[in-house]
Amino acid sequence: MLTRRQTLGAAALVAVPFVRHARAADVPRFALGVASGAPRPDGMVLWTRLTAPPGQDDLPEVVPVRWELARDEAFGQVVASGVEAAERTWAHSVHAEPAGLEPGRWYWYRFRALGQVSAIGRTRTAPAPDAPATLDFAIASCQRYEVNHYAAWRHLATDGLDLVLFLGDYLYEYGAQPTNVRQVGLGRIRTLDDYRARYALYRSDPALQAAHAACPWILVWDDHEVDNDYAGLQGQDLDPAFPARRADAYQAYWEHQPFPKAARPSREGMRIFDRYRWGRLATIHALDDRQYRDPQACPRPGRGGSNTLPRRDCPGMLDPARSLLGAAQEAWLAQGWDLERPWNLLAQQTLMSPLSWRDPAGPDGPMVWTDGWDGYPAARQRLLDTVRERRVPGVVVLGGDVHAHYVADVHANPDDPRSPVLASEFCGTSISSHGWPQTRLDGIRGFHPHLKFARSDRRGAVRFRLDDRRLQADLLAVDDPARPDSAVGPLRRFVVEADRPGPQPA
Ligand SMILES: [Fe+2]
C-alpha cells in the first residue's frame, strides 16, 4: 500500500506538465515537519512552516493554519485549537501558543492548511512548580548537515525524552565541499533567503524531524546560526554590513524554531535567554553567549574572531570589563539562581572549564582559544564567585560547540585545580560536525586534572536522567556517522550526587 507521501510524490511527477494551480494541491505543505518548544506548566509553543515547491513560491500572502492539541494520539479528546495566520513576511511559519493546559502531562498536536494535514507531534507541559518531578533529557549541538548523517537524532527520537536542550550550531553557513558525505549544492550563506533555504534543508532530514516531533525542545544559538566566530555586532571579517546579515539570520532562526511570538526579533536583536522551571526538581537557565559579548581579545591582524595564543601575550584578555554574556544578562543570571530547587542547569554554548594547549603550570602559562570561556576569564570568575557566595545548589554546566565529549569538575578558581569543586560540567560532542583527532586531546590530558573524560573522535549527544538525588549522564556515541542507520550506544556513564559537586564515573 502506498503511504500518503508516496502517493503525493507520484502525483507530483505526473502533474509536471499541468498548470501551476492544478499542481498546488499536490505539493507537500508540511514538508519540514512539526516542532514544539519552550515548555511551561500551562503551555508551550507549537511550530510548523508551510512549504512551496523549490524556487517557486506559490503560497498566498497569508494562509490560515488550524492547529489542534489533544490528550491522546488519536485526537479523541482535543483540549485546545485555534487558527494562526502564516504570513509570507515570516516565511509562512506558525508559532501557536496553547494556554491553560494541565501541568506535567503529554499532549499530541497537528496542523491543517490548504487541504493538507501535518505529521503529528508529541509534546508536554512542564510539571507544576511545586510538584515532585523527574526529568529525562538530552543535550545536543553542532549538526552540520552535509558532513554526516543524523543517526544520533534517530536514536534520541525514540529514547523516552521529556526534553531536548539544543545548545547551538543548529546549522552552518558554509558552502559544500567535494568530500561531503551528503552531496548537496550549497553556497556560502549571504541572504535571508539563503538562511531560510538552509533551515529547510536541515529540516528535510527525517531523523531530525522525528526528534522534533518526539518532545519539546529548548534552544539556544551559537555562532554558526549567523557566521563563524561573530561577537555581538562584529563579524570575523569586520564587514560593515554584518549587522544587517545578523538581523536576517536572527529572523530566519525565529521563523524556524519553536519560540513564542513575543520573541519575534526586531532588526536590533532577539532575546533568547530565558529561565524554565521543572517542578520542584530544577531550574534551567538558557543563555546567549553571542549576541551581547565583547569581541574576542587579541585577534589576528586585520580580523575579528577567535585566536589561540598564550594568555601572557594578551593582557587585554584579563580585562574585568569584558563580558561573554553582556552586563544585563550577567545580572539576570546572578539574581536568578534557584536557591530552592536541588538543581540549576546552565544550558549554554561552550566549554566552561579551562583547556590549555600547553601546561598552564609551566613557565609560560596557559595557551588558550579566545572564543570560549577561556577568552573571558574575568566574566567566568564573576559567574563562579556568585555561585560560591550564594551557595547555589546543584550547578551543572551544559555545553557544546567544541565537538568533543568533556566531563569536568568546575573549580571555584578555574586556574587552581586545588580550589574546591563548585559545579559539574558536561560538554556534549557534536551530532554530526567533525571533531579533532583524539591524539590532540590525549597530548594535553596530563595537565588537565579537572577533565574526567575527553573524547573528540566520536559524534553523538549526552542523555541525562535527573531526580532530586542524582544526575545520571550517558555519553552517547554514533558507530558510523556517515550512515543514517548507524548504531548509537553509550560510551561512558557518569553520575553527580545532589549534595556533592563533581561528576563521578559510574
Ligand atoms: Fe559547531
What are the φ and ψ backbone dihedral angles of 478, each rounded to 5 degrees? Answer: -85, 130
Calculate what percentage of the chain has a pLDDT beyond 90: 93
Number of domains in the chain: 2
Residues 6+ apart with CB under 8 A from 93: 47, 48, 49, 86, 254, 255, 256
- Residue 358 burial by Cβ neighbours in a 10 Å radius (0-12, 13-18, 19+): middle
Residue 343 alpha carbon to ligand 1 centre in Å: 27
Residues 81 and 157 in one domain: no
- The region that residue 334 occupies, defined by phi over 0 for left and psi between -120 and 50 for alpha, beta otherwise, is alpha
Q: Which residues, including other chains, have CB under 8 Å from residue 340's CB and lie 6 or more apart? A: 280
Please indicate, yes or no, if residue 14 is contained in any of the structural domains. Answer: no
Q: Is residue 115 part of a domain?
A: yes
Q: Is the domain of 165 the same as that of 184? A: yes
Q: pLDDT tens digit string along 231-289?
A: 999 999 999 999 999 999 999 999 999 999 999 999 999 999 999 999 999 999 999 99
- How far apart are the CA of 359 and the centre of ligand 1, in A? 26
- Residue 291 sits in the same domain as residue 218: yes
CATH value at residue 96: 2.60.40.380
pLDDT tens by residue, 9-56 = 333 333 333 334 545 668 999 999 999 999 999 999 999 999 998 778
Q: Are residues 92 and 152 in the same domain?
A: no
CA of 369 to the centre of ligand 1 (A): 14
Ligand 1 midpoint to CA 319 (Å): 27
CA of 402 to the centre of ligand 1 (A): 6
Cell of 465: 536522567
* pLDDT of 477: 98
Which of 88, 123, 158 terminates a domain? The answer is: 123
How remote is the CA of residue 427 from the centroid of ligand 1, in Å? 12
> Alpha helix (H) ranges present in 337-492?
377-389, 438-442
Q: How far apart are CA 37 and CA 257, in angstroms?
A: 8
CA 270 – ligand 1 centroid, Å: 21
In a domain, 326, yes or no: yes
Residues 478 and 461 in one domain: yes
Please tell me the pTM assigned to this model.
0.94
CA angle 349/353/358 to nearest 5° reads 120
Residue 258 contacts residue 274 (beta carbons within 8 Å): no
CATH number for the domain that contains residue 244 = 3.60.21.70
Q: What three-state secondary structure class fits 162? A: coil
74-132 tens-digit pLDDT:
999 999 999 999 999 999 999 999 999 999 999 999 999 999 999 999 999 999 999 99
Which residue range forms the structural domain that includes residue 187? 126-505
Centroid of ligand 1 to alpha carbon of 141 (angstroms): 7
* Ligand 1 midpoint to CA 218 (Å): 18
